[in-house]
Amino acid sequence: MKVFAAGLAIATLLTLGTTAAQQAQTPTIHAKAGRRLVIRNAMVIYGNAKPPYGPVDIVVQDGLISSINGSSEAAWTAADTVIDATGKYVMPGIVNAHMHWHEERQTGVPQPIQYERNLYLAAGVTTVREVGGDFDKSKRWQAESNAHTIVAPRILVYPFVSKGRSGSPAEIRTWIREIKQKGADGLKIIGMDRDQLEAIMDEAHKLGLRTATHIAVEETTAKDYIELGVNSIEHFYGVADAALSGIQAFPPDMNYSNEIHRFGRAGELYAQADPAKLHKVIDQMVERGVAWDPTFSIYEASRDLVRAQNQPWFRDYLHPSMEEYFKGSSENHGSYFFGWTSTQEARWKQQYRIWMDAVREFASKGGLVTTGDDAGYIYSMYGFGISRELELHEEAGFHPLEVIEHATWNGARLLGMEDRLGKVREGFIADLLVVNGNPLENLKLLNPYGADVMTINGRQASNYSPLGPNDKVQAVRGGGIEWTIKDGIPYHVPTLMREVKEMVSRARAQRVHSTAGQP
């Protein structure tokens, strides 16, 4: 872009987010790398839970935050790109610490990878940790994302540790050395016996590979992983297991291969944990620096199925491949809702209360809590899942500033990128979100669909505002992230969402077409 005042691409923003008029046009600066970007008049949420401040001007030079509030008129007239953030909040990009790339959900129904990429960027995710996927493809996408030849978040690749043919510790060690050679950023561990886990952790430490674990119901529990020095525990599994008196009280007909059994009984786990033992497990996690990435949002259907099945964004944004996949099927992981009962939901609600209290206690004792959505399963959509995850952290008792810390600064610490990512700080990578409104007032504003906001006489206002007798009060759709900026490149969220909607419409039309001729 040219560097003179008349050529400035100034993105003037409407006050209430994603209106139809705004969706119709893509600003010229969308997805374009410039040398210098200035965000004017922004309120800043820094990333580490200190109070917001501003308004300030943020200057981004060559993908890094170069100065905050240091910009003079001269600085911003020398910019390629100016984003006016008046009335908006700027926060660091979100780290989704637990996700998977999918090019298909229902077998035989392709889902374009750009669909998932757009949704994550639209939800403010600028960095993802893929914990298990197609390693070679993810490495290629990682390089393309770093080179900005694709529109996608930054990617860290943690492949599933392979047990190989024999599952012997020696074979596992060889596999780890090879995957490190091929560029693994870390390892994802699932379902290991103690001898296998010892080999994995020893090899990982020697090679300097970080580790994330999904502890299944198995020989090893959090106790083993804490002792052997894993970096993060994912989900709820393993922690309460280490606090049981003996093992979980499974009925004799328990079959772990049957997901109704597996997920039904999983909802009974935390109630069976001995509270005193659970406090101790939490203490040990904190002591050994083991992070907890709870992924609350991915299990939510188990406690409230009707809510999960009727999310309003499904209408325009649910890809038919996922729509098919979510329907009850013993073939599809996480599609276990056959006759789901009130008792199963009640148990899961109780499980959430105890689990959330445990995560809250863990954080208050100094533990590192992060956010991940694990979407693409169990009625959770990419992007919408991470947005819901933040709301559930608030439900767990965290202040919205702490929730945003989990999603940004804590994520950077988990990845070992705390010297350059996760704060609105000079010298840091310019991964920034420009939010329509104040997410500390309502985390729902971060949802890619937008949120209900109240207006008084046409102006957005807190719903605790005093009302006069002649004030006209309305509920309108507002909020949303306006710009997701990654490495200094601005992505216009309404444009990303319009593209998602188009992908979904095309796929639905094709599906009707391709199934029409079948018997």
Which residues of the chain form contacts with Zn ion (CB under 5 A)?
374
Nearest to Zn ion of 259, 374 (CB atom): 374
Residue 383 Cβ vs Zn ion, minimum distance, rounded to whole Å: 16
Nearest to Zn ion of 133, 479 (CB atom): 133
Nearest to Zn ion of 374, 405 (CB atom): 374
Residues 92, 127 contacting (CB under 8 angstroms): no
Helices (H), 44-112: 73-77
Pairwise CA distance, residues 97 & 107, whole Å: 26
Residue 279 Cβ vs Zn ion, minimum distance, rounded to whole Å: 27
Pairwise CA distance, residues 130 & 96, whole Å: 9
Residue 100 Cβ vs Zn ion, minimum distance, rounded to whole Å: 6
Residues 374, 298 contacting (CB under 8 angstroms): yes
Nearest to Zn ion of 30, 163 (CB atom): 163
Pairwise CA distance, residues 315 & 331, whole Å: 25
What CA–CA distances, in Å, run from 28 to 57, 211, 389, 489, 495? 21, 41, 32, 12, 11
Peptide bond into 55 cis (omega under 30): yes
Nearest to Zn ion of 71, 295 (CB atom): 295
Nearest to Zn ion of 374, 487 (CB atom): 374
Nearest to Zn ion of 355, 483 (CB atom): 355
Residue 200 Cβ vs Zn ion, minimum distance, rounded to whole Å: 18
Residue 67 Cβ vs Zn ion, minimum distance, rounded to whole Å: 39
Nearest to Zn ion of 374, 391 (CB atom): 374
Nearest to Zn ion of 63, 334 (CB atom): 334
Q: CA dihedral in degrees (108, 114, 119, 125; nearest 10)?
A: 120
H/E/C letters for each residue in 220-244?
CCHHHHHHHCCCEEECCCCCCHHHC
Cβ-based neighbours of 347, under 8 Å, separated by 6 or more:
267, 268, 271
The amino acid occupying position 390 is L
Helices (H), 245-379: 259-266, 269-272, 275-287, 305-309, 314-317, 320-326, 342-364
Residue 99 Cβ vs Zn ion, minimum distance, rounded to whole Å: 7
Residues 60, 430 contacting (CB under 8 angstroms): yes
Residue 357 Cβ vs Zn ion, minimum distance, rounded to whole Å: 23
Pairwise CA distance, residues 12 & 184, whole Å: 42
- What does the buried/exposed string (b/e) look like for 385-424 if buried means 16 or more CB atoms within 10 Å of the residue's CB? bbbbbbbbbeebebebbbbbbbbbbbbbbbbebeeebbbb
Residue 492 Cβ vs Zn ion, minimum distance, rounded to whole Å: 29
Pairwise CA distance, residues 168 & 224, whole Å: 18
Pairwise CA distance, residues 99 & 384, whole Å: 13
Residues 511, 320 contacting (CB under 8 angstroms): yes
Pairwise CA distance, residues 324 & 454, whole Å: 36
Residue 113 Cβ vs Zn ion, minimum distance, rounded to whole Å: 17
> Is the dihedral angle over the CA atoms 213, 219, 224, 226 positive or is it negative?
positive
Nearest to Zn ion of 79, 222 (CB atom): 222
Nearest to Zn ion of 415, 433 (CB atom): 415
Grouping H, G, I as helix, E, B as strand and the rest as coil, residue 507 is helix
Closest residue to Zn ion, Cβ-based? 374
Residue 452 structure tokens: 């209900």
Q: CA dihedral in degrees (431, 435, 440, 442; nearest 10)?
A: -130
Residue 321 Cβ vs Zn ion, minimum distance, rounded to whole Å: 18
